Structure 1
Amino acid sequence: MRAIVLDGDDHYRITELDTPVPGPGEVALRVAYAGVQWGDTMVKDGLFPVPRPFVPGFEASGHIVAVGPGVDANRVGEAVTALAAGGAHAEVVVVPAVLALAVGELPLRTAAAFGWSTPTAYDLVHTVARVRAGERVLIHGAAGAVGGQAAQFARLAGAGRIVGVAGSADRAAYAARSGFDEVLLREDLPAGLGDERFDVVLDPVGGPTRQAGLSALAPHGRLVAYGALGGHAPVLADTDALLGDGRSLMTYNSALLSRTHPERLADSARRALGLLVEGLVSVDVTAEYDPSELGLAVRRLREGATRGKSLLRVAGRFDTPSGAAGA
């Protein structure tokens, strides 16, 4: 099969590899589309160490072509969206069967955009923060795939006011389409919040943004940290002060959950997928790339030029001879 490999020289290359075979509890998926997400930037930048050469790609859609021991053989031919630990930027990827979700008639393009972002947004709102009717929600990274969908899930949960934060004016304008009541620029924080306090803050940024988020919590408010896009500067929290106001600092790590309790992640993913199929939430694909353009896709994501979701077209697109697939 053809696959994109990240070599030790830090370049992507299209090459020929043996087709992977599913083991116990696994399925092999012939990939139609694969997502491009923040994990790809972390791998490329060495922040998420993996042995190289490495086939990147953490989410895909397509049809199951083989199953391993312990998996129902009737799943062969099933259209699915799949969450992977890597390897999705290839013609075939092997994933745990529990994390390959049947999508029925949902277009495979939409199913790939579902990716990690939709179940992550669902869990942030429903499982961790447990947004209640009438609550005020502040969402950082509002123009990203997770932020935009978190706003949709929060609205469905009955949130009374949803404020987004974006890094630039054009990203704020894009985020406004996801149903935020207001979108602020990160450079205007914390002054732009005035005296407003929030019941829930969703923060993938970290550092000073996280510190300010703790200060913006209302009594009994919950801040959920689920990334460190702004760097890994430590955030100091006075637990006694938090206790006095009933405020909470929580974390969410979907990649860890997929390894420790994959059935929990799968349950949330199925619930989120049901809402997507019903049309109650949507995913926004803003860019598609060929395999030879993966380097460009990852670079644009890292630089903040990406809005919503980017996809890699895989089926029938590995026509480029073995060689470079972008820096």
Structure 2
Amino acid sequence: MKAVVLDTDDRYRVAELDEPTPGPGQVAIRVAYAGIQWGDTMVRDGHFAVPRPFVPGFEAAGHVVAVGAGVGARRVGTPVTALTASGAYAEVVLAPDPLTFDIGGMPLRTAAGLGWGAPTAYDLINTAARVRPGEHVLIHAAAGSVGTLAAQFARLAGAGRIVGVVGTADRADYAARFGYDRLLLRKEFPANLGDEKPDVVLDPVGGSTRTTGLEQLAPHGRLVAYGNLATYEPVRADTNDLLMHGKSLLTYNSNLLSRTHPERLADSARRALGLVADGKVRMDITAEYALGDLAMAVQHLAEGTTHGKSILRIA
């Protein structure tokens, strides 16, 4: 089979590999499309210690072609989307059965865009921050795949006001399509917030953005940290100060959740998938790349020149 390999020299190459065979509790998927996500930049840049050569790719959509022990044979032939530990940038990938989801009549291209971002966005709003009706939500990286989904999930949860923060004016124009009440440029945050005090802040940025977000929270507000786009430097918070103002600093790690409580992640993924299938939430794929163009796709993501969701065409 054809697969993209991230080699020991940090370069991507298209190679011929043997097709993998599913083990117990696994399914083999013939991949039509694979989602591109921030984890790809982290693997490329060495923030995740994985042995090289390595077949990357963490999100796949296609048809089940084989199953391992303990998985019902009826799954063979089913169109699915799956969350994988690796290997999605290949013609066949192995995925854990509990994190492989039937998509019914949803197009495979759309399903590939759900990936880890859809359950992450769902959980940020509904299980981590627990947004309540009427609350004010502020979302950083508002034009990204998680941000655009989170804005829609926040509206469904009854948020009264949703503010997004983006890096550029064109990204603000794009994010405006997803139900934000207001968009701020990163250089305008927090000065242009004025007297607004969000009840919830979603922060994948880190560094000074995280510190400022905690300062801006309303009493009893919650900041959910779920990434470090800007810096891996630690952010220190005064727990006594948080206590006095009833503020909370929370974290969300979908990769860890997949290993400790996969059933929780699976439940959120199914709920998110259902909302997209019902047309209540829109999945927007803005870029599609060929197998040999993965290096360019990941670089575009790292540079922040993409918005919405990017996918890789495998079939």
TM superposition score category, shorter chain reference: over 0.9
Query: What amino acid does structure 2 have at the position aligned with 1:160?
Result: G
1:28 positional shift: 0.4
- TM-score by length of structure 2 reads 0.99
- TM-score by length of structure 1 reads 0.95
Report how many aligned residue pairs link the two structures: 315
Equivalent residue number for residue 106 of structure 1: 106
Unaligned residue ranges in structure 1 (runs of 5+): 316-327
User: Could you list the per-position Cα deviations for residues 272-308 of structure 1 after superposition, in whole angstroms to 9, with x for gaps in the alignment?
Assistant: 1111110000111000000010011000000011110
1:110 positional shift: 0.3
Which structure 2 residues correspond to residues 1-327 of structure 1 after superposition, within 5 A? 1-315=1-315
Query: What amino acid does structure 1 have at the position aligned with 2:257?
Result: L
Q: Secondary structure, in 3 states, of the residue corresponding to 2:295?
A: helix
1:246 positional shift: 1.1
CA distance in 2, matches of 1:233, 1:41: 18
CA distance in 2, matches of 1:164, 1:246: 23
Query: What amino acid does structure 2 have at the position aligned with 1:267?
Result: D
Q: Secondary structure, in 3 states, of the residue corresponding to 2:218?
A: strand
1:236 positional shift: 1.5
CA distance in 2, matches of 1:49, 1:40: 12
CA distance in 2, matches of 1:31, 1:234: 38
CA distance in 2, matches of 1:162, 1:190: 15
CA distance in 1, matches of 2:149, 2:267: 18
Q: Secondary structure, in 3 states, of the residue corresponding to 1:218?
A: coil
CA distance in 2, matches of 1:189, 1:135: 19
CA distance in 1, matches of 2:235, 2:169: 27
Q: Secondary structure, in 3 states, of the residue corresponding to 1:220?
A: coil
CA distance in 2, matches of 1:282, 1:173: 17
CA distance in 2, matches of 1:232, 1:297: 23
1:162 positional shift: 0.2
Q: Which runs of 4+ in 1 moved over 2 A?
A: none
Query: What amino acid does structure 1 have at the position aligned with 2:33?
Result: Y
Query: What amino acid does structure 1 have at the position aligned with 2:138?
Result: L
CA distance in 1, matches of 2:21, 2:13: 22
1:34 positional shift: 0.3
Q: Secondary structure, in 3 states, of the residue corresponding to 1:219?
A: coil
1:159 positional shift: 0.2
CA distance in 2, matches of 1:52, 1:188: 41
1:233 positional shift: 2.0
Q: Secondary structure, in 3 states, of the residue corresponding to 1:296?
A: helix
1:188 positional shift: 1.2
CA distance in 2, matches of 1:233, 1:40: 20
RMSD: 0.6
Unaligned residue ranges in structure 2 (runs of 5+): none
CA distance in 2, matches of 1:228, 1:91: 31
1:173 positional shift: 1.1
CA distance in 2, matches of 1:25, 1:232: 35
CA distance in 2, matches of 1:137, 1:240: 24
